[in-house]
Structure 1
């Protein structure tokens, strides 16, 4: 089994698509204003945005995007005007993470976990 796609809700799909394109995803299906699918620049995973009339309440979904050169990526995104809730920080679970929200308020974590992503010292 492989993870093919993650879909997040948005009130304004076009605005969210523009944001995800700034992160480096490539638009492959444009059915705006109700749906769009993008592909990650590395690997085979896709990511989509679908229109909703009301955003979910509570913590919602957290989406993680991994990039080995995390600090450089975050700095480049800041230069493009993207605002972060938390800049790259080393975490106790041995990942380095930066946190932000997309235009719909979905939580994103840009991170680098390296070998510890799947093989932390406490792995079962």
Structure 2
């Protein structure tokens, strides 16, 4: 059994909620969502259910927000950006100035290592890199 699956099996044993979720990037094949759930635990034995499925765009975005340590405001702005909203639309909806939105976008670009909105969306939703 691959080490990533083994780790996922033991993770729920140490967590209070008894579950674990992670995203696995497969080169050239997209992303998988791996989930484990502790079903039965007694002193000597335990049962864990494992689910492996195609990752949804929401799963991918949620994990990437955490991985890049985006603030709550940056995450909100990113949600609008993914929908194709302009800086002005984001500013109006979030009651910010367009300059503040631009500052948050610069911070997002810096954290993710990109320089444009298109690059950002591409990087967040694919496991491919451009060389």
* TM-score of the aligned structures, taking structure 1 as reference length: 0.28
Greater RCO (CA < 8 Å, at least 6 residues apart) = 1
Decide which structure has greater strand share: 1
Decide which structure has greater helix share: 2
Q: Which has the larger radius of gyration?
A: 2
